Structure 1
């Protein structure tokens, strides 16, 4: 029997939505700590949300190229995961993992065969890798920003490398993505929103339901 699919809902900012995500059966919840994101959560609010999640769902704090003091501040709050979503090198990922003492999920933007070729290097130093779409040129923040990448690029990936998939996933296409790409987990943020940073509980529930049915 294959392991159950891991479902992560990212960009949660309120206790109500945290409860929705847990009730709908997600495995991981992501909190963004990045000022330029419409989903940004302050350090003060992060502590409360992580505490509210503890023992109910795995919590993951998303950081973008954080400095050591930021890593230490977030690690002290006791999340289950730190997601690195910036241009961190494998060496930096390894250093943050050692310093934080928290499991590391490294997001990797995929836009070409060269990007796919890098995945193994990062998989060796992170606890999990998350393959995301490359942001459009000129974007002021990382991530697919609602767009998916060409999943066919992943045909060249070593089948032994397990990964989570992100980037442009929605309740409508998540089943197709799981069937085609066979990730061990999926991650969604803007695909369950009605406006940037505005999550919709019905979309969250539909995404989880459709992903479970496919996974």
Structure 2
């Protein structure tokens, strides 16, 4: 089975081209002012134009209101919306219906109960993304380079397709795929030389490791 890969937090055309050339299936554009990877609408729109038709474009938001989402849809036209906040299953369903885009719902995970809670989104989200819970007091929900105990996904592994995130990088992504049986993986800080600065070689190495990985 082919494992899909998403390079999130793309901010430059150089990083975008590297992700596409190395075989990324998705690229993520972040709309979160507290993130070092945040993009203004015009920046994101330019990157999306360059990427369109070459890779799936994901717009990541955190508890965004309808006006913000409408502007992103109108000016960036992503293929997917990624909801990385505290959105309820009802809110996810409403966003999907209103904006007509498939939705990736991020679930913050520290325990097996957190993972099991993803079931409530089964009827609304198109993709579940398991990510590590942010450290206490963090200003944003993701992109901290933290892993979590992958064994807490044992109750869902093999029962539902999901994307895995949280502290992944070239050195551990194959192990993560083998252990969790994730059908897709997502990386941001794990392919950076500094917060928000993508490293071309790390992108290449990460995607090569995903291509050669095998599910357990």
Instruction: Establish whether TM, by shorter chain, passes 0.5.
Output: yes
Displaced runs of 4+ in structure 1, greater than 2 A?
Answer: none
Residue of structure 1 aligned with 2:43, choices 34, 42, 45 = 45
Deviations 1:1-57 (A, max 9, x none): x3x211000000011111111001110000101111000010111111111111100
Structural RMSD (CA): 1.0
**Please, which moves more after superposition, 35-44 or 110-119?**
110-119
Partner SS for 1:214: coil
The 5-angstrom pairing of residues 113-192 of structure 1 reads: 113-143=112-142, 145-157=144-156, 159-192=158-191
Using the alignment, how far apart are the partners of 2:156 and 2:60 within structure 1? 25
Q: Unaligned 5+ residue runs, structure 2? A: none
Q: Unaligned 5+ residue runs, structure 1? A: none
Using the alignment, how far apart are the partners of 1:202 and 1:123 within structure 2? 36
Aligned partner of 1:103 in structure 2 is 102
1:73 paired to 2:42: no
Task: Give the aligned length.
Answer: 213
Using the alignment, how far apart are the partners of 2:145 and 2:93 within structure 1? 29
Deviations 1:46-89 (A, max 9, x none): 11111111110000010000001011111113110110000111
Are 1:171 and 1:203, in contact at CA under 8 Å, matched by a contact in 2?
A: yes
Using the alignment, how far apart are the partners of 2:73 and 2:99 within structure 1? 6
Instruction: After TM superposition, give the deviation of residue 160 of structure 1 in Å.
Output: 2.3
Instruction: After TM superposition, give the deviation of residue 200 of structure 1 in Å.
Output: 0.2
Instruction: After TM superposition, give the deviation of residue 144 of structure 1 in Å.
Output: 5.5
TM value normalised by structure 2? 0.96
**1:46–1:182 Cα change, 3 Å:** same
Instruction: After TM superposition, give the deviation of residue 111 of structure 1 in Å.
Output: 0.9
Using the alignment, how far apart are the partners of 2:45 and 2:196 within structure 1? 20
Deviations 1:122-150 (A, max 9, x none): 13211101100000111110025101111
**1:87–1:38 Cα change, 3 Å:** same
1:22 paired to 2:20: yes
Aligned partner of 1:82 in structure 2 is 81
